[in-house]
Structure formats: C-alpha cells, structure tokens
A and B are shown apart, each in its own frame.
Chain A
Amino acid sequence: MNLNLAGEKAPWREQFPVDLADDEYRSRRDFTRLLGLTSLAFVAGQLWIIARNFWHKAKDLPSRFAISRVSDVPVGGTKLFHYPGPNDPCVLVRLTKENWVAFGQKCTHLSCPVIPQPEQGRIFCPCHEGVFNIETGAPVSGPPRRPLIRVNLAVAGDQIYATGVERGEV
C-alpha cells in the first residue's frame, strides 16, 4: 500500500486501484491453468494414437492377395503393391528364378519409402541412409534398429500371392 508521509493513502491509489502483486499472482495462475490444458491435449494425443492403432487392427485384412504373375517380374526385378491395406505399401523383389522376397516399404526408422537395390544385395532408405539386408529385411547400417515388415509369399502356378505379414523384433 502506498502511503504518504502523513501515513495517508496516496491519492493516485483511488484512481488506479490495481493491486500489482495480486495481478501478478492471477496471471501466474492463469498461465498454470493453460499448462494444465496443454497437458490434457498431450493425453488426448496419446489416446488418439491408441485409437488409431485399434482402428487399424480392427480392419478386415485379406488373407490372400494376388500380387503379380510370376512371368511379369524378371530376375532382379521389383514390383510395388499394397498389402494388407491400401495404405500399406510393399515391395516384391525377385532375387533369383525361384527366390522371392517382399517387405513393407516403410522404413522402420521414420517411415520413409525404402528402395530395393538387388544388384547390391540391399534395400536402401534415402532419407537417413538406412540399409537393410535384401534377403532378411534385417537392418545392416544407418539409424534403423528394427527389420522391415516381412510379407509372406506363396507361389501357385503362374501367380504369386501375399499370405500374411511378420513384424520382426529388435
């Protein structure tokens, strides 16, 4: 409280009756409340990830998906397809006449699309120079620590099918 020498309340106080200490306290309290709302938003974000994961799992997945005709992919050739869902890009690689592999095309580091390079025996991620073994999908070098999602394949006649996926562990 501002008092003059006589111990009386300063006249300007009547025209400007704001208590600065109380004002500071209130603004601090409001900021802390805003932080509380921010915290709630982060919780909502975490729950959204769970909901999204649950929704992806609940979708009906095709058990058998025709990727390509065997004769359409030469040795050393590749073919892109989507499995099990339309938002799951995969790549089929023909290593030899009888040896086929297929992996999810999302890098296990930050989901960049990977590029198979059969002539070098590797699958390459250009974003951060991650390298995977083309036969196993295991990480060889760079930031990725988990193998690529492997697509199980079955050959019947002249047709090659995707029959499931396997997620590798670290």
Chain B
Amino acid sequence: MKNAQRMAIANAIQSVVLLIVVLQLWLLTATMERYLAGDADIIVPAAAASIGCFGLIFGLLYFYRRKLDH
C-alpha cells in the first residue's frame, strides 16, 4: 500500500473514531443528567450504546493494526 493511500485511510479512521468518541461524551453527559434527575430507566440502554460504540472503535483500531501497520 502506498504511503498516501495509507495516510488517507488513517485520516478517515481517525475522523470516524473522533466522531464516535464525541457521541459517547454526549451520551455520558445526557445519561448523567437524567440519572441525577431521578430517572434510572435510561442508564442500561445508554451503557449498551456506549459499549457498542467502543466495539466499533475497537474494530477500527484492529483494522488499523492489521491492515495499515503491516
């Protein structure tokens, strides 16, 4: 793989990961706000969504390691 191609893919992965992390930050603050207001119904679905986001990031990082680094 050419260096330019590799950098383009790395940039794309980094952008997607950054987007997901910002989404997780929003999810955490929204969950905390609802929880402190006494509404505990939302915390389990929010945690599941956050774990899903992390799984996606983990997959992208795995791709990064397997396909781009080697």
Main SS of chain B's interface residues?
A: helix
Q: Mark A16-57, 1 if CB is under 8 A from B, else 0.
A: 000001101100110111011011101101110110010000
A111 lies within 8 A of B25 (CB):
no
Contact of A22 among B3, B13, B31 (CB under 8 A): B3
Which size bracket describes the interface of A in this complex? 20 to 34
Main SS of chain A's interface residues?
A: helix
B54 lies within 8 A of A106 (CB):
no
Q: For B57, list chain A residues within 8 Å (CB).
A: 35-36, 39
Contact of B54 among A21, A28, A33, A39 (CB under 8 A): A39
Residue A108 at the B interface, CB < 8 A?
yes
Q: Decide yes or no: A25 and B14 within 8 Å by CB, A32-B64, A38-B21, A42-B28 being known contacts.
A: no
Q: For A45, list chain B residues within 8 Å (CB).
A: 28, 32
A32 lies within 8 A of B43 (CB):
no
Residue A149 at the B interface, CB < 8 A?
yes
B6-39: which residues lie under 8 A (CB-CB) from chain A?
6-7, 10-11, 13-14, 17-18, 20-21, 24-25, 27-28, 31-33, 35-39
Distance between B17 CB and nearest chain A CB, rounded to angstroms: 5
Distance between A151 CB and nearest chain B CB, rounded to angstroms: 13
Distance between B59 CB and nearest chain A CB, rounded to angstroms: 11
Chain B interface (Cβ < 8 Å from any Cβ of A) = 3, 6-7, 10-11, 13-14, 17-18, 20-21, 24-25, 27-28, 31-33, 35-40, 43-44, 46-47, 50-51, 53-54, 57-58, 60-61, 64, 68-69
Given contacts A46-B47, A46-B51, 10 further A-B contacts (CB under 8 A): A25-B3, A29-B69, A35-B14, A39-B54, A42-B50, A42-B53, A46-B43, A49-B47, A50-B47, A167-B38
Give 20 CB contacts A-B under 8 Å. Answer: A29-B10, A29-B64, A31-B14, A32-B60, A35-B17, A35-B18, A35-B21, A39-B21, A39-B53, A39-B54, A42-B21, A42-B24, A42-B50, A43-B50, A45-B28, A47-B47, A49-B31, A49-B43, A108-B38, A111-B37
